């Protein structure tokens, strides 16, 4: 009877040990993939930031080109001046 109990304890300890090792390996695999996903998201964020910067520059270039036209320059300069005043008012209140 005692030998059966000892054998069952050994089998239990081996099973628990293998289970712990398996869970550890699975956690390591998940961590590896999560790190890869985080790197891809960081690269995507950088690319998106560059794209928005380029888009802003292009929009400013288009506005500059349009402001050179006689009819549109009156409206664009007026709007730009209004935005300038609002920005100054906000910065002076801080």
CA distances from 63 to 13, 56, 72 (A): 74, 11, 10
Cα 79 to chain centroid, rounded: 34
Domain ranges of the chain: 2-93
Residue 94 confidence (pLDDT) = 45
- Predicted TM-score (pTM) of the model is 0.54
Residue 73 makes CB contacts below 8 A (sequence gap 6+) with 66, 67
68 secondary structure, DSSP code: T
pLDDT at 85: 53
Out of 3-7, 35-39, 73-77, 78-82, which region has the weakest mean confidence (pLDDT)? 78-82
């Amino acid at each position: 009877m005692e030998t059966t109990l000892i054998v069952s304890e050994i089998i239990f300890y081996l099973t628990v040990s293998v289970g712990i090792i398996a869970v550890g390996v699975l956690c390591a695999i998940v961590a590896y993939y999560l790190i890869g996903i985080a790197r891809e998201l960081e690269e995507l964020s950088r690319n998106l930031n560059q794209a928005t910067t380029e888009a802003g520059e292009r929009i400013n270039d288009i506005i500059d080109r349009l402001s050179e036209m006689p009819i549109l320059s009156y409206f664009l300069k007026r709007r730009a001046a209004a935005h300038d005043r609002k920005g100054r008012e906000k910065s002076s209140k801080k």
